[in-house]
A and B are shown apart, each in its own frame.
Chain A
Amino acid sequence: MISFLALFGVFFKIGMFTFGGGQAMIPLLQKDLVVNLAWVPMKEFLDFVAISEITPGPVAINMATFVGYKLRGLTGALVTSLGVILPSFITILIIATVAHTFRTNRWVSAFLDGLQPVVLALLTYAVYSIARGGIPAWWGYVASLGILLLILKYGKKLNLFLVLLAAGGLGLLIFR
């Protein structure tokens, strides 16, 4: 039986060494869990990924919970989730504690100025890759554009969760 410590260790390590969000974790998780440790068969792993992407919350936490639950039940799920959360939590806490001088420091400010256009590029690419991977038909793109215009026009008055729910309802009706 896999020990809780080993479970925690794997997810802590992955949480520590992946940058740029949860999606970046998937290849690393696959390498560790499927190939190196052989804890999870490939097919099951892909199922986990598919479900994590269509459930609420960060994909990394979804994945951790899934694997932990499958291997060691409820306690396992809590152990893996904690493992994947703690490295980010600790890192950010340290940064936030010393960050009094964020934009007041010339170099940090310059770093942030150089980084912002990259964030813009990353988000633009995310729009492209999520749309390409997840929207099954051309009128899906049209609907997406329509929703974008709605958000831009009505701004704060629009409940974003209801927008997603309505989009899901639309999917039920029109996607085959």
Chain B
Amino acid sequence: MEQKKLITYTAGHAPVRKQLLLFWIFFIIGAFTIGGGYAMILMMKRYLVEQYHWLKDEEFYDMLGISQVTPGPIAVNMATFVGYTQGGVLGSVLATLGVSIPAVAVIIVIAVFFPGFKDNVWVQRFFAGVIVGVVAQIATIVLDLGKRQKWTIVSIVICATSLGILFFVHQVSPIWLILGGGLVGIAVEAFKPHGTAPAAGKSAS
């Protein structure tokens, strides 16, 4: 049984500077990632794991997983989560505002000043190009997560089954897959013979 602490609790006595930094980081993430929550993951990981070392790799991906079982946009979930663990309640408010304000502001500007925005051919071409970049960024996360995954028979079966369902059964809500995977994880743990602790997690850095 791993005894890693998930979260480094600095909540409650986080300095104001850190709370403002939380706002700023999530504002940047919200302002500069086009294409919704999935497109933000790589940039979040850059800032939160690699640059500021607030989270370990594993913690980051655990939060990402939890963000998908809880209601609402993934970006908001992540911001609230990281904001709270790093900066307390005020930190969570600021991080959530940070990731949301650009989205609200840009839409108001477009609605007021550029109603024909999306029909502009240059906008369409630019966006098609951005998608090329977004796809590459999400693929980077896929490779990273695949590398870090503890590949066992169970995890291979879960992953393959989920992929099969996603590709061949249309209109399936991710929540059922996520819950299904989690329950399989619990079942495996329940039926595991006593005394055989799982191998310690890879300490990939």
Contacts and interface: CB of A to CB of B under 8 A. Distances in A.
Contacts of B111: 65-66, 69-70
Interface centre among B128, B138, B190 (most CB of A within 10 A): B128
Interface of B: 1-7, 9, 30-38, 41-43, 46, 50-51, 58, 61-62, 64-77, 80-81, 84-85, 89, 92, 96, 99-100, 102-104, 106-108, 110-111, 117-118, 122-143, 145-146, 149-150, 154-156, 158-159, 162-163, 166-167, 173-175, 177-178, 180-186, 188-190
Given A53-B35, A114-B186, A116-B149, A131 B178 contact: no
Interface centre among A24, A61, A151, A156 (most CB of B within 10 A): A61
B38 A126 contact: yes
Contacts of B186: 107, 110-111, 114
Nearest to A111: B182
B156 to A, nearest CB: 8
Given A117-B181, A167-B129, A96 B81 contact: yes
Given A55-B106, A161-B33, 17 more contacts: A22-B36, A51-B118, A58-B37, A58-B75, A62-B106, A66-B111, A88-B77, A91-B72, A95-B81, A102-B62, A113-B189, A114-B182, A118-B162, A144-B139, A156-B50, A164-B130, A171-B126
Contact of B177 (A57, A66, A121, A143): A121
Interface residues of A, number: 101
Contacts of A93: 80, 84, 89, 92
Contacts of B43: 160-161
A96 B73 CA distance: 16
B123 A54 contact: yes
Contact of A172 (B64, B125, B156, B158): B125
